Amino acid sequence: MDKDIIANRLKDKFGISRLNDMQQAVIEKWNQGKKNIVLYSPTGSGKTLAFAMPILRNIDESCATTQIVIIEPTRELVLQVTDVLKKLAPSIKTTSCYGGHNSRDERQSLSQLPTIVVATPGRLLDHIEHGTVNIHTAAILVLDEFDKSLELGFIDDMRHIIKRLPTTVRTIMTSATIIKNVPEFIDLTRFETINFMRQVALSPKERITTWQVLCDDNNRLQCLKKLLQSLPDEKTIVFANQRDTAQFVYQQLVKDGITAGLYIGTLEQSEREKVLTMFRNGSLLVLVSTDLGGRGIDISDIKHIIHYEQPLTSEIFTHRNGRTARVDATGEVYVITGQEAIPSFIKIDKQYQHDSLNSPNLKKPLRATIHISAGKKEKISRGDIVGYLLHNCPMLTGSDIAGIDIFDHYTLVGLPKTKAEDVIKTISPYKLKKLKVKSMIVGFRPKFMK
């Protein structure tokens, strides 16, 4: 692909006119013809664009084969990276494959020979073994967030996948931590290392203020509620160590009237998609999560991180905090502590005073999410949705649309809460690309609470 076209889309879609030093370093090494590159750079530093820009330039659009394979450790990262690639190169067929997704839809999409395949290791290996994807033609392999893939136990799957790739493949491997024990199928002596851990890691730390919130061990939940109520109406993630704890905290917040969402591994895929969309577009301001969200959430404007329970390791603490202070933004981190000792890896900057925790704010968002019953499989694009809404709804302007997330058979759109009901009523008689669709305002309520 032409690099000027990609650069223009980078500016139009992401508002970025100049890549950061780390991203430019990757492109420089790539252009020098380095066959294998390992990039060490912290969470939130822009690693996706660092590998997306050079690999897209390497695509031969006249060649109808799978040219690039990107392996991600989680389905959320698969979706996020796929979204970035489709914004930068909408004409390039990119197919995502991950667990919890309809495998029949994936097989149909793979049958049309995607240029790029973005997948989790297990699902990609399953397609390889069933002959529904051919990676023998791939010229580029990206092992994104490789440390997380090792942590999640994908070593055997990745070993089998890499054995099936041509020996001439060029590889980019990214990691948010220095990998000490590398599996035997990765020979780091053949990799050109780009290490931005020290240079970039200092910057987010300088933009984060870490507060200690003292509380009675028997009153931790009440302390969290008061803390949430005292904070400005900005996006906030509350981290717990266990699924049961996260679920309990979420239920108690909702019971007390605080508008919140939940992000844990036991949710159905559609529930996880919905809650992240609502959190991203501002229909939810509070998200309760396990450490699944410490890697799987990539949202640029998260302001507050609350450690309801202290993280078990330094790496977990770093990844949780990496959800805030993205790019050049600032962030606030709150560590709720009782009688337990604070680990040495947690450096407190200030004490948060209890007497300020008395606001009645229940985090009621000013936005709502509407569900439209058509998506990718009905050939719906973002442009179709924008045209459908603005053409038929005179009360809407382009700036009212906070986000459009298109899934296989439905679309979620963020709108001002004051206009959402009127929009639903107004568009109900009209068709979307000759399709009769249903629209409704949706909330987040997981099935275990129904």
pLDDT in tens, 15-65: 888 899 999 999 999 999 989 999 999 877 889 999 999 999 999 988 889
Q: Percentage of the chain surpassing pLDDT 90?
A: 61
Region 394-406 average pLDDT: 89
Mean residue pLDDT of the chain comes to: 89
Helices (H), 116-242: 121-129, 146-151, 155-163, 197-206, 220-230
**pLDDT at 310 (0 to 100):** 93
Region 75-102 average pLDDT: 89
Region 254-269 average pLDDT: 92
Cα distance between residue 54 and residue 26, in whole Å: 8
Selection from 262, 275, 278, 270 nearest residue 408 by Cα:
270
Token representation of residue 398: 């382009």
Is residue 224 scored above 80 in pLDDT? yes
pLDDT in tens, 431-441: 999 999 999 99
**pLDDT at 355 (0 to 100):** 54
Cα distance between residue 46 and residue 56, in whole Å: 16
Is residue 235 scored above 80 in pLDDT? yes
**pLDDT at 296 (0 to 100):** 73
Q: Percentage of the chain surpassing pLDDT 70?
A: 96
Is residue 98 scored above 50 in pLDDT? yes
**pLDDT at 254 (0 to 100):** 93
pLDDT in tens, 175-217: 988 887 788 888 888 899 999 886 544 455 678 899 999 988 7
Region 301-320 average pLDDT: 93
Dihedrals phi, psi of 434, to nearest 5 degrees:
70, 10
**pLDDT at 359 (0 to 100):** 53
**Does residue 397 or residue 201 have the better pLDDT?**
397
Region 69-77 average pLDDT: 90
Using 50, 70 and 90 to split pLDDT, how confident is the model at 84?
very high
Report whether 151 contacts 313 (CB < 8 A): no
Is residue 124 scored above 80 in pLDDT? yes
* Residue 310 neighbours by CB under 8 Å, 6+ apart: 335, 337, 340, 342, 343, 346
Is residue 372 scored above 90 in pLDDT? yes
**pLDDT at 354 (0 to 100):** 57
Is residue 390 scored above 60 in pLDDT? yes
pLDDT in tens, 323-352: 898 766 789 999 999 888 899 999 999 998
Most confident of 40-44, 203-207, 242-246, 300-304: 242-246
Stretch (H or E) spanning 8: helix 3-14
Region 93-119 average pLDDT: 89
Cα distance between residue 222 and residue 165, in whole Å: 54
Token representation of residue 73: 């450790």
Is residue 2 scored above 90 in pLDDT? no
- Set out the domains of the chain in order of their start, with CATH numbers: 3-200 (3.40.50.300), 207-356 (3.40.50.300), 367-444 (3.30.70.330)
Most confident of 151-160, 239-248, 348-357: 239-248
**pLDDT at 200 (0 to 100):** 46
Region 124-134 average pLDDT: 93
Selection from 280, 252, 248 nearest residue 264 by Cα:
248
Report DSSP state, residue 310.
-
Neighbours of 431 (CB within 10 A): 12
Helices (H), 305-416: 314-321, 382-392
Cα distance between residue 227 and residue 213, in whole Å: 8
Is residue 102 scored above 80 in pLDDT? no
**Does residue 383 or residue 102 have the better pLDDT?**
383
Cα distance between residue 395 and residue 276, in whole Å: 27
Region 166-175 average pLDDT: 90
Is residue 303 scored above 90 in pLDDT? yes
**pLDDT at 450 (0 to 100):** 61
Cα distance between residue 243 and residue 316, in whole Å: 15
Selection from 391, 390, 385 nearest residue 435 by Cα:
385
Buried b (16+ CB within 10 A) or exposed e, 176-196: bbeeeeeeeebeeeebeebeb
